[in-house]
A = this chain, B = another copy of it.
């Protein structure tokens, strides 16, 4: 950690910072420039952070040197990428996988018909929400337990492993009976009790990036799971919130190569939620694949005649899942 002092900092203020650093068991290395003094602090990051030195008199700002995540870092595995094997499908490394399915499980007909098309289109996983986080309490919140039952039936029929969202720690046991991958949604990316509980399970988890979370924060959320012993964490970019109003969210394609440098964990992209429009899913999936992700994700449903939560109509042959795979 580097503590950069203000140009107006007094010698007494500099000494006070040095003493506080050393009181936390760290070593202080002051470097006195012509205009400002910089103090390097070497030691336990957490102890020094707790000193709250950025609020001390004479301190301009504190610059962390080391990354705060450890188990998620690329260095942990010396640059070797993690590959997860889930029900015979591989995700991570050079493996490309398509995860597709309806946003929300709505009926037996819908989920079974969609699951068959998704499997025939070459998808590796079936996704579908039984519990749905909805901005409005007046919106349909998902079928709950009944939705999980339908997903189990779709898995039975198609053999596709299931990805489904956990919102409430009290539903964990029910989710574990069906899910091959537990999904943590963007709104829950920093729900730490939920992450820690999943960390104590023996089941892969896919964590979606919060809509205004930095990559470092996403990796810290992964770290909550990893720290409890669960090593099977997948990260998912799904669009961030910006000033642009032409689309719902801005899919951050740059996150893919940068995450791959920062971490060994598999990276997945969800172009459906970012765009909010079916016609952007194919170009964005291709762009994401070109930038180097290991999997792509799509809302995909087969119910043209009934009100579906997000009303994706069936993809026509020209935009079937198979065409997204390069």
- Kindly identify which residue among B138, B170, B291 contacts A46, using a CB–CB cutoff of 8 Å: B138
Q: Is the CB of B167 within 8 A of A193?
A: yes
B-side contacts of A289, CB under 8 Å: 290
B-side contacts of A217, CB under 8 Å: 135
B-side contacts of A47, CB under 8 Å: 307
Contact with B along A16-49 (1 / 0, CB 8 A): 0000000110000101011110101010011101
B-side contacts of A243, CB under 8 Å: 212, 214, 240-243
Binds B, one of A92-100, A109-117, A151-159, A310-318: A310-318
Contact with B along A34-74 (1 / 0, CB 8 A): 11101010100111011111111000000101101000000
Binds B, one of A81-89, A122-130, A173-181, A249-257: A249-257
Q: A15 in the interface, Cβ–Cβ < 8 Å? A: no
- Kindly identify which residue among B33, B66, B242, B247 contacts A65, using a CB–CB cutoff of 8 Å: B33
Q: A77 in the interface, Cβ–Cβ < 8 Å? A: no
Given contacts A50-B308, A307-B50, A311-B56, whether A215 and B196 have CB atoms under 8 Å apart is no
Copies per complex? 4
Q: Which partner residue on chain B sits nearest A275 by CB separation?
A: B254
- Kindly identify which residue among B31, B216, B262 contacts A29, using a CB–CB cutoff of 8 Å: B31
Which residues from 271 to 309 on chain A have a C-beta closer than 8 Å to any C-beta of chain B? Answer: 274-280, 283-284, 286-292, 307-309
Q: Give the 5 A-B CB pairs with smallest separation, nearest first.
A: A52-B311, A212-B212, A290-B290, A287-B291, A168-B193
* A interface list, Cβ under 8 A from B: 2, 4, 7-8, 23-24, 29, 31, 33-36, 38, 40, 42, 45-47, 49-56, 63, 65-66, 68, 75, 79, 133-140, 167-170, 187-188, 190-193, 196, 211-212, 214-217, 220, 223-224, 227, 240-247, 250-254, 256-258, 261-262, 274-280, 283-284, 286-292, 307-313
19 A–B contacts from the bound complex (CB under 8 Å): A4-B65, A29-B31, A35-B66, A46-B136, A50-B139, A50-B140, A52-B307, A55-B313, A68-B136, A137-B223, A137-B224, A168-B169, A168-B193, A170-B170, A211-B212, A243-B243, A245-B245, A250-B252, A251-B253
